[in-house]
Amino acid sequence: MADYKAPLRDMRFVLREVFEIDKLWASLAGTRDSVDVETADAILEQAAKIAAEEIAPLSREADEHGSRWQQGEVVSPPGFKAAYQTFAEGGWCGLGGNAEYGGMGMPKTLVAQVEEMVQGADMSFGLAPMLSAGACLSIDAHASEELKDKYLPNLYSGIWSGAMDLTEPHAGTDLGMIRTRAEPNPDGSYSLTGTKIFITWGEHDMAENIIHLVLAKLPDAPAGSKGISMFLVPKILVNDDGSLGQRNSVACGSIEKKMGIKASATCVMNYDGARGWLVGERNRGLACMFTMMNYERLGVGIQGLGAADASYQNAVEYARERLQSRSPEGAKNPDKAADPIIVHPDVRRMLLTMRAFNEGARAFSTYVAKWLDIAKFSDDKVDIKHASGMVALLTPIAKAFITDKALETTVIGQQVFGGHGFIREWGQEQLVRDARITQIYEGTNGIQAMDLMGRKTVANGGEFLQLFVAEVEGFIRANSDSEALAEFIRPLSAELDNLQRVSTTVIEQARQDPNAIGAAAVEYLHLFGYTVYAYLWASMAKAALAGIEGGDADFYRAKLAVARFYYGRLLPQTKALSAHILEGSGPLMALEAELF
């Protein structure tokens, strides 16, 4: 099993050469004075060291051991508490947090790279700071100044951690069905009663306190999703002077036995009159939740990328060392009994597929992070509106397409090992198990596809789609005279035309057929994902062609080779996806339910 190494060279390429991040940060009012490429480099180097030396070595044993539930308390796996404290002491829990309350205020374009390293080192561990960051986003955006002053500094420092308590046994996707109740108290607090399930790191021993953001309904709440409010419920009550008081009436009833991410505690949380405080407006809890959801859903995509890249690192090292058979071209290693399996075309197909999806995902996650940064840090209202539209359009693709391809990639990595990939000691099967959850939580990938197809495309007549189309068309026009880029520009133009044609067809179908959106959704999201990657691979090819004369030629030659592989061997899958979509809902709905 290879030691995890953060892909720093590729991260720098994406940030500096593809997205020219120094220009972006300098153009934004909220980042021009807080970060530059030198600062970013120092942060990336230190994060890579922590991921490789403090977190990754714990992963396999932590998976074997798991978190343990003991009489309502959860003990984290060996080494996790110390690693978390080291992580917190380095300021990493508040990397993207509001500087007014003790965060570092770094842009998401930089934070995304650090998140990938942490998730690649161990996804179970990475979930703890990820959930804290999500809770902080909602508190910072919606809570009162009193609550922000009281809770954010210790959350950013990692002294306390955060959890998001949304799901109930009967209410997953349909949160309007939740039954957790919040009764107002005379002092302005609320008493919460109910049960939440699937609460990641809802209980543990790594931090002094856990701050839960809980969705619940007030006694006079409207029915359905319009009656949801959000409450801040600490595990341990916090006194007015900031010190810890008595234990709140919230407890972990059990933890789940899971397929993957076994080292993290997935908790059943019981609230028995627990004291909480309203975050945001009454009955506006979903708005508070969605503030952090774009960041969290991108974060889940990055989780998948982290696991997929770790799988690639393992697979390519194994393929260079494992000796089996001879190359079809003749012996490459005549002094040994066989050649390394990397000489075989099918192994190269697997490795190149992994690399093409991973490097495409890294560019994509950074691309979405760029729009998040513009929406957050720009002082130009037109730019903010444009960026917000791009975020709305791209977030479901980033969550679902990256994670779908991440599972595919981890399985391919396992396949490179053959029988050894099925054995625990090599680590590949753990990555497959861990990556699987990314397709399910934070809104299943089917729900992401419905959101993209229904709300983000059909409902607005393709308005958001046209933002993306206009950008890619501008790229195509700007590079139409480049002979060196012609091999990418021409097929990219055709793919963009196809995406528009398919989108228009489904918009028209949906006027007559109520099943049209659901029938097309998943294939449409994948079609869109492949097209976005085509745009980003063309952008990376352009940057590689520009850099190849200036040194580090091997890196740029490899980048161009992978770009050609993506265009030649992976992008053609859009043809089948388009055919599926254009077939309509008929074949899906023709069979009566009782005949299944």
Alpha carbon separation from 524 to 176, 263, 502, 521, 572 (Å, rounded)? 27, 35, 8, 5, 15
3-state helix, strand, coil in the chain (%, to 5): 65, 10, 25
| The Cα angle at residue 352 between residues 557 and 539, in degrees rounded to 5 | 50
| Helix intervals (H) in 460-552 | 463-478, 486-512, 516-547
Indicate which residue of 54, 296, 442, 523 is catalytic.
442
Rounded to whole angstroms, the Cα distance separating 118 from 290 reads 24
Tokens of residue 61, six digits: 């044993």
Using the structure block, give the residue that is written with the tokens 């209410």.
171
What is the β-pairing status of strands 266-279 and 190-200? antiparallel
- Residue 20 among the catalytic residues: no
Per the CB < 8 A criterion, the answer to whether 429 and 423 are in contact is yes
Q: Of 413, 218, 418, 411, whose CA–CA distance to 324 is shortest?
A: 418
Rounded to whole angstroms, the Cα distance separating 66 from 60 reads 10
Query: Can you say whether residue 91 is alpha, beta or left, with left for phi > 0 and alpha for psi between -120 and 50 degrees?
Result: left
Tokens of residue 243, six digits: 């010190």
Per the CB < 8 A criterion, the answer to whether 414 and 429 are in contact is yes
Q: Of 113, 14, 11, whose CA–CA distance to 542 is shortest?
A: 14
Cite the active site residues: 442
